[in-house]
Amino acid sequence: MKQALPVPPEVVQQVAEYFSLLSEPMRLRLLHLLRDEEKCVQELVEATQTSQANVSKHLKVMWQAGILSRRSEGTCAYYRVEDEMIFELCNRVCDRLASRLEQQARNFRILNSK
């Protein structure tokens, strides 16, 4: 069996921080809203029905991580997804969860049929 090479702690930390970006439901909602086009902060506030401070806080975290890009136009800040790979990662996780749920549903039907 091939032995895994040691990974520097700072690399593990960076990977953990990247994954932690997706552990916040509001960030996932914002990414979903930004999937097809850029939006200004106010549009995102209205779509999520939450405060501007909350939306801005999460956008800033994703912008600092390089997932989003930002541009200003007048008094509005517009955000768009810079790292589209984030959707591939989310799709893989969602597909895996759907597969597990389908298996659980089959198991419940088996139990229910006896």
Provide the residue ranges of all domains of the chain, joining segments of one domain with +: 1-82, 84-114
Question: pTM for the whole thing?
Answer: 0.82
CA 36 remoteness from chain centre: 14
Angle at 95 between CA 78 and CA 47, to 5 degrees: 30
pLDDT per residue over 87-113, tens digit each?
999 999 999 999 999 998 988 888 877
Exposure letters 35-71 (e unless 16+ CB within 10 A, then b)? eeeebbbebbbeeeeeeeeebbebbebbbebebbeee
Q: How does residue 114 score in pLDDT terms, banded at 50, 70 and 90?
A: low
Cα–Cα distance measured from residue 77 to residue 59, given in angstroms and rounded to the nearest whole number:
10
CB contact at 8 A, 63 and 70: yes
pLDDT per residue over 7-47, tens digit each?
999 999 998 998 999 999 999 999 999 999 999 999 999 99
What's the average model confidence in pLDDT over 73-89? 94
Q: Which amino acid is at 83?
A: D
Domain spanning 1-82: CATH 1.10.10.10: yes
What's the average model confidence in pLDDT over 59-77? 96
Q: Which CA distances in Å does 13 have to 8, 17, 18, 27, 29?
A: 9, 6, 9, 20, 25
